[in-house]
Amino acid sequence: MGVRKTAGLRCDARMRPLDVLLGSLRSCLERFPDKRRGLNTTYDMGDIGMAAFSVFFLQSPSFLAHQRQFEAGHGHSNCTSLFGLSKIPCDNHIRAMLDPAAPDLLHPVFTAAVVRSGKSTALWTCSAGSTGAC
Do residues 32 and 20 make contact, with C-beta atoms less than 8 angstroms apart?
no
Task: Indicate if 64 and 114 belong to the same structural domain.
Answer: no
Residues 102-113 pLDDT 10s:
999 999 998 888
Range of the domain at 19: 4-101
Question: How far apart, in whole angstroms, are the C-alpha atoms of residue 48 and residue 105?
Answer: 15
What is the chain's mean pLDDT, rounded? Answer: 75
Residues 59-81 pLDDT 10s:
777 767 777 777 777 666 777 77
Task: Indicate if 69 and 111 belong to the same structural domain.
Answer: no
Residues 17-46 pLDDT 10s:
888 888 999 999 999 999 888 777 788 999
pLDDT, residue 15, reads 59
DSSP code for 10: E
User: pTM to 2 decimals?
Assistant: 0.66
Task: Indicate if 9 and 71 belong to the same structural domain.
Answer: yes
